[in-house]
Amino acid sequence: MDLLTTLVDKGLRRELPTREEALAVLATSDDDLLDVVAAAGKVRRHWFGRRVKLNYLVNLKSGLCPEDCSYCSQRLGSTTGILKYTWLKPDEASKAAAAGLAGGAKRVCLVASGRGPTDRDVDRVAGTIKAIKDQNEGVEVCACLGLLSDGQAERLREAGADAYNHNLNTSEATYGEITTTHTYEDRVDTVQKAHAAGLSACSGLIAGMGETDEDLIDVVFSLRALDPDSVPVNFLIPVEGTPLAKEWNLTPQRCLRILAMVRFVCPDVEVRIAGGREVHLRTMQPLALNLANSIFLGDYLTTEGQAGQADLDMIADAGFEIEGTGQVTLPEHRATVGGGCGSHESAGSTGGGCGSHEGGGGVCGTAAPATPTLSEPRTDLVTVRRRGAGTDLAPNA
């Protein structure tokens, strides 16, 4: 396909595709899907080889959020029955992180629900960062605490944080339909604050919330303009008790097209398969490793992921290797500029979701596919987390 040849060439040159080209990727047929994966895989291997970076989430404070994000099980008024607890102590958080690091994780993502941290909250997180780094040489720490006030990003950087996650989630045009208690501009401002403070910026999206192909293109192009080091791609986990519980709009093939499109638009950044991969990619997860170079190990913020050992086996069986602490994630031209640390769940609240949750006409001879036949909702694959942080049970790592 001329389209794919063009996109590979642009990806190797770090050149932005046109909107029409990006839309055409989402419009490819199932017959062309393996060709799309192979093409995007060439771009992924050029910049990241066959390495897979493992990240591990620690939910520092669960539930109790005043925001109304429709996708989030921690939202105001949620009836999902998730774990609810206030701040973990530094030693508790460090113990939770140790399980993921023992399983091969290179980065720990510290997430807390809420609109944004108070200065006292920043002090708490600073203590947790110190506890984790004192016990684990070379570990990367990403904070995800919600909307930042002036000076807070600098304080987190001084405390040893390597990165900050805050997702855009969806397009600016549709953002008000998903959340009303803060704005799209608030999120952009926080990503820019993290950048300005010298933190490695991490910002991504949630697919499957009823958005159009144009919405997906809008948010991914906006992310490219913000220039984060890491772009988590979340697939909505429709948790019972949230307004989007009935939104089962994704197929494994659709997820692969979205990941390929993100790789073509953001060729040299850490693309992470975040929340929802087990629910929506299912047995196609190994194929997605040809598109993304990063995943979360084990469980998410409020829902369970597949067994940590299953993640490791999947990576090995697919012919990939775990990225070690001594390896730099990003290509040299990025690592020397932005800090070199590329951030999870099915979605968090304003504060949650460290990299976290969850069309156009064809060009170059591609035709828009028929509406995909969706399988029945796989509610059996959505399990509320009852282990790990905030419990007395061992975490999944």
pLDDT of residue 362: 35
Is the pLDDT at 361 greater than 70, yes or no?
Answer: no
Which residue among the candidates 44, 75, 109, 263 is catalytic per the annotation?
109
| 28-to-59, 90, 261, 361 alpha-carbon distances in Å | 38, 48, 11, 10
Position with higher pLDDT, 364 vs 205: 205
pLDDT of residue 73: 85
Position with higher pLDDT, 386 vs 345: 386
**What are 156-161's contacts with CB under 8 Å, separation 24+?**
156/122, 156/125, 156/126, 156/129, 156/197, 156/199, 157/197, 157/198, 157/199, 159/122, 159/125, 159/126, 159/129, 159/130, 160/126, 160/129, 160/130, 160/133, 161/125, 161/129, 161/199
Which residue among the candidates 44, 107, 142, 266 is catalytic per the annotation?
142
320 CB-near residues (< 8 Å, 6+ apart): 50, 51, 52, 289
pLDDT of residue 346: 39
Which residue among the candidates 272, 277, 334, 385 is catalytic per the annotation?
272
Is the pLDDT at 316 greater than 70, yes or no?
Answer: yes
> How far is the first Cα of the chain from the last one, in angstroms, to the nearest whole number?
41
* Domains of the chain: residue spans and CATH: 2-381 (3.20.20.70)
Q: Is 266 a catalytic residue?
A: no
Phi, psi values for residue 199, rounded to 5°: -80, 150
Which residue among the candidates 65, 144, 266, 341 is catalytic per the annotation?
65
Q: Is 144 a catalytic residue?
A: no
Which residue among the candidates 202, 255, 266, 354 is catalytic per the annotation?
202
Is the pLDDT at 136 greater than 70, yes or no?
Answer: yes
Extract the tokens encoding 151: 């000076």
Instruction: Give the span between the Cα atoms of 204 and 202, in whole angstroms.
Output: 7
Is the pLDDT at 354 greater than 70, yes or no?
Answer: no
Residue 2 CB neighbour total at 10 angstroms = 10
Extract the tokens encoding 394: 């061992």
Residue 107 pairs with which residues in a beta bridge? Answer: 55, 140
Which residue among the candidates 69, 144, 266, 354 is catalytic per the annotation?
69
**Percentage with pLDDT > 90 across the chain:** 73
pLDDT of residue 251: 97
Q: Is 255 a catalytic residue?
A: no
Q: Is 387 a catalytic residue?
A: no
Confidence of residue 371 (pLDDT cuts 50, 70, 90): very low
Which residue among the candidates 44, 72, 254, 257 is catalytic per the annotation?
72
Q: Is 142 a catalytic residue?
A: yes
